[in-house]
Homo-oligomer: A and B are copies of this chain.
Amino acid sequence: MDNIDRNIINLVQAFGRATNAEIAGACGLSVSAANDRLKRLQERGAITGWSARVDPDAVDLGLLAFIFVEIDHTGHNERFIAAATLMPEVLELHHVTGEWSYLLKVRARDTKALETLITGRLKALPGVARSHTHIALSSAKDNGPLPVDVSGDD
């Protein structure tokens, strides 16, 4: 992982459909070398996959919320993680420090769908003692690229 690799990572984060020729041009490599490096970055696991960025409003998921959850008995943690991870509305599930056990990022169609998710499905899971929801009114930035420093060591 040298600076060229980091440049490639920055490039393909911003432009996931960049061609090998474009990567090569930006990094001063031949097309083959760019292709080789991209493949190696994937084989090593630095690049884990590719994705289209989708406008939530276009797919009727205008409501974004962050939900803190507290689990009351230690034995329930694994089951909660397994169940919540499988819920498609749960985009993220983090184990966090502080007064709460988990922080979930969820998207839903509207407040009604959010209510169903929280009271009907999340709070129905064993061990969920309480939850606290923050609704996002607007997002100035969402899913930004990882800031990969290109002036680190080679």
Contact = CB atoms under 8 A, between A and B. Distances in A.
Interface of A: 1, 6, 9, 12-17, 44-56, 58-61, 64, 66, 81, 84-85, 88-98, 100, 103, 107, 134-149, 152
Nearest to A136: B94
B141 A92 contact: yes
A94 B138 contact: yes
Q: Looking at chain A's contact residues, is the secondary structure mostly helix, strand, loop, or mixed?
A: mixed
Given A51-B52, A60-B152, A93-B139, 16 more contacts: A14-B51, A16-B51, A48-B53, A51-B51, A51-B145, A59-B148, A61-B147, A66-B96, A88-B144, A91-B145, A92-B142, A92-B143, A95-B136, A96-B136, A97-B135, A107-B146
